[in-house]
Structure 1
């Protein structure tokens, strides 16, 4: 796999107020783990789909800083680039590719041949097989040729199968027949020889009729020497429903001699989001990422939009949403930390030989409070990074804001991890951070704390 030089595009703001779940306020970078760096250390990429028109401000900072690969959500689809025959609009696609190159990111080209978002002159035309084949391969030559050498992966054919494993009756399948996929792959190889060529589909994450059909197609294409480098599993999933056969399915495709990738990951839930749903979503994102890491030929994972403000789910699945790692305010959710943990991040990991924690409620009112937490190293060894954990005695207590730490909460369990500028605690020294929160019923102090897994005096 080709991994370009990575350059972190986000500058952490020292002493910035960090919101619950480790977020900085909108417009600032989250002072937490950087997914692209963690993924690169594992030999994979972690990417996101983006909307070109939003690539500015905080959205651009997160897209460029957190992710090592970019997919244009809509800007490379046929209907976007050639809405009228011979009339091209490359502005959106150019903007995404330029952005990726400016931020040292890979680009997944999406998509050259798809049954949906076709211009009407293609989907509604009266074609012979030869005429449509010429139009299709000409489109591939034009688009892939325009970006030759700048695209790492092309989704050459997208969603060729129905749920029962039969071929989807797209205009290409209906007019050209089964051979259109081979024609498309050969045209893409001629237009952009260095790019990896993928087939991409949804609901093929587990072993089922649809994934079996894709498996047989890949096996047939490889046996006949058709240029095919990878299979993309979209992974538009539902909370609590990650297929048990995901890893085995990735591996069986890899065993055919192709790369695999999770290409459009989101994990939706019935709204409203709750602590329990968000905790399950975190576990699901972690599980999908771990499945990829467990397969040597898994190139990486792409989330289909990184923020709920830019997700397609609510429009297509009414009453469902909250499917991405960041909320609508660009605040990272537990899912973001689940991804980071799967990639090897553990927050504070330094040895602790002694610690003491002081928790002081500085201000309290009818529904809320402000507390200051001080962590002191009472041991003999320097702590190079810290992660403080506690549980609220009351289920009505919840952190709503924090500063000088990255804070997450699941149920009554709370974790606070150091910021980039206060991670080291020398023997005899202390660091502090503050939280705002809400409470109902009662607001007692935590009974105990752990620092990097070691119990502290309180």
Structure 2
């Protein structure tokens, strides 16, 4: 659904561990219940600890942005498959399914499409050409497609989009029919948010799916995005999942995260664990709820802080790749003994990442996380290994002597409470290579 934060080229946490309880990985626990458990991923991050967790814990991956229209067809008829191919290859190498996301949406479309002047006939051709090309490329390689994304308003009326405004509601049937012709083996879904409980929007989606099935339009499943708020999991989520299943379609939780107002506290973590467990348990209880996917597994990868000011900590792992209580909520719902608390904390840690690179420079950032400890001031230190030079910094005072870098807190962000974090960034020059340094706190 939503765009993630800037792509992280590589990640390294000084002193970070990824220890888990003695339970089997989530993918094995889910499989024992006949379910698939997945995560959204970005191709640029699939290395190191990020890749280890993505492959070890999850049996399915969803490209967060790489298969959206604006990413794969930035110019009409000109396609860029690099990142999408990378994610599919990663999944194949780790015995994972791929969930395609998404073919028809009102957002993240290329300018040539949204700013074009189309007749209805022309737009139908554009829709058919794009779906046919993309689905055919991955024929036999993807388990499912979110074919149509976010078709409804909150009151259950159809959303005004380039598709609905020009083609009417039948664009949905056309998209599904075209996708089925391109890959008869992939499961075809309609996906939306705020449809987890029984309400006007989910009832409109229910009626649409029933109508499509009555008409013989190919529709295999319904995706419930589940971008939820702490303490607000709908009490009728299992009932809602079951009513869709009773239509004869599969149901998938496709984009689960549960955001909280920051800062993170142990009490909020306990509530988040209960919420994650409730959602996963509702899926586990319905035979035709086939999968549960989290929208990014680590807080450093979450779209939430960029969209909801003051909110975050929405995923099962913290920014240092340590499992939070939420992780154990999922594990317990799928039959694991889990752990009632995450592994012991070893204090405050620094995570160094590269968010973008260009010919002679890059943008980096360092996030300091505290769990079981706190800071009233901080210094982050590292040594560049290939002649990199910082040219600009923000949210910290950075100095560099030779290869040695020291960054100290600004006057307003020295305090990092238990369960909190602070991030600073910088631009730097490089030439030829950009190896990752280890960061220490002093």
Q: Report the TM-score range of the alignment, normalised by the length of the smaller protein.
A: 0.7 to 0.9
Q: Give 1:271 shift.
A: 0.2
1:102 pairs with one of 93, 96, 101: 93
Structure 1 residues 248-304: Cα deviation after superposition (integer angstroms, max 9, x where no partner): 000000111100010000000000001110000000000000000111100110000
Q: Counterparts of 1:136 and 1:91 in 2: how far apart (Å)?
A: 22
Q: Counterparts of 1:78 and 1:272 in 2: how far apart (Å)?
A: 36
Does 2:167 match 1:176? yes
Q: Which residue of 1 aligns with 2:63?
A: 72
Q: Give 1:97 shift.
A: 0.5
User: Greater Rg, structure 1 or structure 2?
Assistant: 1
Q: Counterparts of 2:15 and 2:272 in 1: how far apart (Å)?
A: 23
Q: Give 1:400 shift.
A: 2.9
Q: Which residue of 2 aligns with 1:308?
A: 299
Q: Which residue of 2 aligns with 1:219?
A: 210
Q: Which residue of 2 aligns with 1:135?
A: 126
Structure 2 spans left out of the alignment, 5+ residues: 1-12, 348-370, 373-416, 419-442
Residues 24-35 of structure 1: matches in 2 within 5 Å? 26=16, 28=18, 30=20, 32-33=22-23, 34-35=25-26
Does 2:276 match 1:285? yes
Q: Counterparts of 1:71 and 1:24 in 2: how far apart (Å)?
A: 28
Q: Which residue of 1 aligns with 2:44?
A: 53
2:222 pairs with one of 228, 231, 235: 231
Whether the aligned pair in 2 keeps the contact of 1:54 and 1:60 (CA below 8 Å) is yes
1:401 pairs with one of 330, 346, 356: 346
Structure 1 residues 37-59: Cα deviation after superposition (integer angstroms, max 9, x where no partner): 00001000010000110000000
Whether the aligned pair in 1 keeps the contact of 2:38 and 2:62 (CA below 8 Å) is yes
Does 2:200 match 1:255? no
Residues 276-425 of structure 1: matches in 2 within 5 Å? 276-347=267-338, 400-401=345-346
**SS at 2:321 equivalent:** coil
**SS at 2:346 equivalent:** strand
Does 2:194 match 1:203? yes
Gap change, CA 1:99 and 1:27, over 3 Å in 2: farther
Q: Normalising by the residue count of structure 2, what TM-score does the alignment of the two structures yield?
A: 0.74
2:180 pairs with one of 171, 179, 189: 189
Whether the aligned pair in 1 keeps the contact of 2:18 and 2:322 (CA below 8 Å) is no
Structure 1 spans left out of the alignment, 5+ residues: 1-22, 348-386, 390-397, 403-408, 411-437, 440-458
Q: Which residue of 2 aligns with 1:113?
A: 104
Structure 1 residues 199-250: Cα deviation after superposition (integer angstroms, max 9, x where no partner): 0000000111100100110010000000000000000000100001100000
Structure 1 residues 392-419: Cα deviation after superposition (integer angstroms, max 9, x where no partner): xxxxxx95339xxxxxx99xxxxxxxxx
Structure 1 residues 164-196: Cα deviation after superposition (integer angstroms, max 9, x where no partner): 111011100001111100000000000011000
Q: Counterparts of 2:89 and 2:152 in 1: how far apart (Å)?
A: 33
Moved more, 24-33 or 132-141: 24-33
Whether the aligned pair in 2 keeps the contact of 1:29 and 1:62 (CA below 8 Å) is no
Q: Normalising by the residue count of structure 1, what TM-score does the alignment of the two structures yield?
A: 0.71
Q: Counterparts of 2:21 and 2:14 in 1: how far apart (Å)?
A: 7
* RMSD between superposed Cα atoms in Å: 2.2
Whether the aligned pair in 1 keeps the contact of 2:17 and 2:322 (CA below 8 Å) is no
**SS at 1:400 equivalent:** coil
Residues 158-173 of structure 1: matches in 2 within 5 Å? 158-173=149-164
Q: Counterparts of 2:46 and 2:71 in 1: how far apart (Å)?
A: 18
**SS at 1:266 equivalent:** strand
Whether the aligned pair in 2 keeps the contact of 1:29 and 1:61 (CA below 8 Å) is no
Q: Counterparts of 1:142 and 1:24 in 2: how far apart (Å)?
A: 44
**SS at 2:276 equivalent:** helix
Q: Give 1:124 shift.
A: 1.2
**SS at 1:75 equivalent:** coil
